[in-house]
Structure 1
Amino acid sequence: MAFLLTKLASLPSVLCLLTFLFWEVAGADGVPAIYVFGDSTADVGNNNYLPGSTAKANFPHNGVDFPAKRPTGRFSNGYNGIDFLAMHIGFKRSPPPFLSIASKIHHRIVSGIKGVNFASGGSGILDSTGDTMSTTNQIENFATVRSNMTSHLSEMQADQLLSKSIFIISTGGNDIFDYFLQNNAPNVTEKEKFITTLVSTYKYHLEKLYNLGARKFGMVDVPPIGCCPFPRSLSPTGGCLDVLNELSLQFNKATMALMHELSLTLKGMKYSIGSSNAVVSNIIRSPATIGIKETKTACCGGGKFNGELSCTPNASFCSERNRYLFWDKLHPTHAASKLAGLAIYGGSPEFASPINFKQLVEEDD
């Protein structure tokens, strides 16, 4: 066994990622609920209920590989990364979108106790990002759920439930995109100022969640968004847009420092940062090793790299969806999300640190 572990440790990162495909990752006991916050990487249908939002995915070809081939509002041909993380923790999939139960919240308190997904496609950390439910709005909605809990549970019971629950947050990419569209060639000082503002606002949100009872934070960092089909379609060479990737890495580094700082100052707080950046970067570097054949062009869409037009009912879509990294111009396929979920949940420090999600789940209060 020691020899086998030594050999595995010597393999390239992408091969280590591949090994997760063959692991049985058992759901852990003791996690009563999952609460999800973020953007379209985590949305499971909240935007379906926002009449003014253009960031929707509740139509074909989205959901073509979801059970019953049903478009749910997920920006995917099937499940998204949050679904897979929820499965590994021991749930069927992501908890329901908040807006699907909002009008029934007093009658559906069980949904609040088992978990709720507040994520909204197009949203960001900053209130100025997007035209959907900002992180501020999402936390306000969680506060509503928290308040309803205490009409059915004691304060102590609610606190205990929340302290054992996992709070998953996947956001930041839209803030970076919006900033880039306003300034596509920022200098060093401008980049630093933007990242400082973004992380300072993120800190405020995380402290707010902590004050509402969150203790276990499962963060998902920003992938190399400059390599998505849409940014590639903007590049004269068709290559990745470096400025977007640089901003993503700066934000991820600053988030790591922020979480370490908060863990030292907020009593009982524990966290894991899952690196979608590392997962996607590994897939792009060595796609064939893990069964991916296309990393530049989206499966569904139109124009250059299928990244200029969205995935709509009139768009063409690929047949080998499990061989594509990107489903549409900005989002991963079901297959890529499955890889990310496996790596972040049970992976090495390259894919989740300072502990992985499995270790976060198993941490005692």
Structure 2
Amino acid sequence: MESNEYYNSSILSAIMFLVFTIHPGANAQGLVPALYVFGDSLVDVGNNNHLELSLLKADFPHNGIDYPGKKATGRFSNGFNFADFLAQNLGVPTAARYLSLSPDSNNTDSYLAGVSFASGGAGIFNTTNLGQCISFDEQIDYFATLYAVLVEQLGTEKTLDHLARSIYALVIGSNELINYAKSDPADSASPEDFVGSLLATLQIQIKRIYNIGARRFVFIGTGPVGCCPGVRERNETKECNAVGNYVSNLYNTGVSSFLNMMQKSEDMSYSFFDTYNAVLQYIKQPSTYGFSEVAEACCGLGDLNAKIGCLPVSTYCANRSDHIFWDYYHPTEATSRLVTTTAFDGSAPLVYPININQLTTS
């Protein structure tokens, strides 16, 4: 690729960042005090960069090729990811990487501005990618530490008021579902039992976040994981893996049902985005949404560019905006932007019971 194309791509990303930074209707302080992010590589903004022994990193080219300055920041994307676009629509800064902050009690201002605990490879189970990421339980432990620091500095009342008015984005579950889709059925639990075990653990984790002080939840459901290039390429036909898609849809249904029940019994509100059906629409009607390539990864090597991930030796597509997938598991910046736009201002059946914009005033 020519150097002037690199330059133009970076300028475009910078312009888009400015365009999306303040959502219409946001005041100078943003629609909410802060955004706190929990989850996996879909929303990791660089926490894994600080894990010395982890192999699950994206701090090298060609990641970040469309990020301002062509910088590989640790995002598993060619540019911005969902966490960035959500922050921009809320009119708040992208949440700071928790592991980039000093481990002491002088982080009050940083903690109040929003923090990301998300980590590439993280799952609901602590055994998922053990030792390579910050597990979901560990992320919640870090949130508890943040709470304790704020209480020490501000007092309980001010801390709880701040936390109650902030937004909590949860993006978790894909890693277990992908592993299940790739596993030998003979060695696996039934889809229903497997998803049931995920949901039982997840419910406890969400309640922990609530008990610390969270009241406004954004849950971005898992996508059609069976259609990820890294799962497709294992099929001779290169079609979507039906089992992967089935467990993803089952998982989303369970999460949505739990949040609905929780809202009826607790002082909380939520917005759930049905990523599964949204991305299936992109795959089935790509031209409607500005895409032309739905199966092949933009960056990688081998069948569907998905035998090997996005490494410096990998090839990558010239036009990232027409691909749904950046690498074998992660969406392009274009897909993340489209998902965020719908989740923020959309309506049922893809986002319910309210969208994120409505959640800010709930």
Distance 2:26 2:185 in 1: 43
Distance 2:271 2:289 in 1: 25
How far apart are residue 162 of structure 1 and its match? Answer: 0.3
Distance 1:185 1:325 in 2: 32
Distance 2:85 2:31 in 1: 18
Distance 1:260 1:243 in 2: 26
Is the Cα–Cα contact under 8 Å of residues 40 and 122 in structure 2 kept in the other structure? yes
Q: Which amino acid aligns with 2:291?
A: I
Distance 1:263 1:318 in 2: 44
Aligned residues: 338
Query: Relative CO higher for 1 or 2, CA cutoff 8 Å, sep ≥ 6?
Result: 1
Distance 1:122 1:296 in 2: 22
How far apart are residue 30 of structure 1 and its match? Answer: 4.7
Name the counterpart of 1:319: 318
Name the counterpart of 1:353: 352
Distance 2:185 2:42 in 1: 23
Distance 1:186 1:360 in 2: 42
How far apart are residue 176 of structure 1 and its match? Answer: 1.2
1:88-127 pair list within 5 angstroms = 88-92=89-93, 94-103=94-103, 105-127=104-126
How far apart are residue 102 of structure 1 and its match? Answer: 4.0
What SS class does the counterpart of residue 362 from structure 1 fall into? Answer: coil
Q: Which amino acid aligns with 1:290?
A: Y
Name the counterpart of 2:81: 80
Residues 304-313 or 274-283, more deviating: 274-283
Q: Which amino acid aligns with 1:316?
A: T
Deviations 1:109-140 (A, max 9, x none): 21111110000110101111113111100000
Is the Cα–Cα contact under 8 Å of residues 38 and 118 in structure 2 kept in the other structure? yes
Name the counterpart of 1:166: 167
Distance 2:216 2:138 in 1: 21
Deviations 1:291-325 (A, max 9, x none): 21111111100110011101011111111111111
Q: Which amino acid aligns with 1:125?
A: I
Distance 1:346 1:292 in 2: 21
Could you say if the C-alpha distance between residues 341 and 48 of structure 1 is closer, same or farther in structure 2, counting changes exceeding 3 Å?
same
What SS class does the counterpart of residue 151 from structure 1 fall into? Answer: helix
What SS class does the counterpart of residue 219 from structure 2 fall into? Answer: strand
Q: Which amino acid aligns with 1:144?
A: T
Uncovered stretches (5+) of structure 1, i.e. residues with no partner:
1-20
Distance 1:278 1:323 in 2: 19
Is the Cα–Cα contact under 8 Å of residues 31 and 91 in structure 2 kept in the other structure? no
Is the Cα–Cα contact under 8 Å of residues 298 and 326 in structure 1 kept in the other structure? yes
Name the counterpart of 2:224: 224
Instruction: Tell me the C-alpha RMSD between the 2 structures.
Output: 1.7
Name the counterpart of 1:10: none
Is the Cα–Cα contact under 8 Å of residues 26 and 90 in structure 1 kept in the other structure? no
Deviations 1:267-308 (A, max 9, x none): x11011112222211110111122211111111001100111
Distance 1:281 1:328 in 2: 17
Q: Does 1:138 align with 2:134?
A: no
Distance 1:25 1:237 in 2: 45
Distance 1:230 1:178 in 2: 11
Name the counterpart of 1:301: 300
Q: Does 1:195 align with 2:182?
A: no
Deviations 1:186-235 (A, max 9, x none): 88x72111111110100000110111000000000000011011011101
Q: Does 1:207 align with 2:199?
A: no
Uncovered stretches (5+) of structure 2, i.e. residues with no partner:
1-19
Could you say if the C-alpha distance between residues 142 and 246 of structure 1 is closer, same or farther in structure 2, counting changes exceeding 3 Å?
same
Distance 1:54 1:163 in 2: 36
Name the counterpart of 1:66: 67
Name the counterpart of 1:3: none
Deviations 1:7-49 (A, max 9, x none): xxxxxxxxxxxxxx9xx64436451111100000110001001
Distance 1:47 1:26 in 2: 34
Name the counterpart of 1:14: none
Name the counterpart of 1:4: none
Distance 1:147 1:288 in 2: 49
Matched-pair identity in %: 37
Large movers: runs of 4+ above 4 Å? none
Q: Which amino acid aligns with 1:167?
A: Y
Name the counterpart of 1:5: none
Deviations 1:58-112 (A, max 9, x none): 00110111111111100000000111111111124x2111101143x42232111
Is the Cα–Cα contact under 8 Å of residues 38 and 123 in structure 1 kept in the other structure? yes
Could you say if the C-alpha distance between residues 25 and 230 of structure 1 is closer, same or farther in structure 2, counting changes exceeding 3 Å?
farther
Distance 1:192 1:281 in 2: 22
How far apart are residue 179 of structure 1 and its match? Answer: 2.9
Distance 1:184 1:171 in 2: 23
Q: TM-score, normalised by structure 2?
A: 0.90
Could you say if the C-alpha distance between residues 182 and 298 of structure 1 is closer, same or farther in structure 2, counting changes exceeding 3 Å?
closer
How far apart are residue 181 of structure 1 and its match? Answer: 3.8
Distance 1:359 1:205 in 2: 25
Distance 1:338 1:278 in 2: 16
Could you say if the C-alpha distance between residues 26 and 225 of structure 1 is closer, same or farther in structure 2, counting changes exceeding 3 Å?
farther
Distance 1:185 1:221 in 2: 27
1:143-162 pair list within 5 angstroms = 143-162=144-163
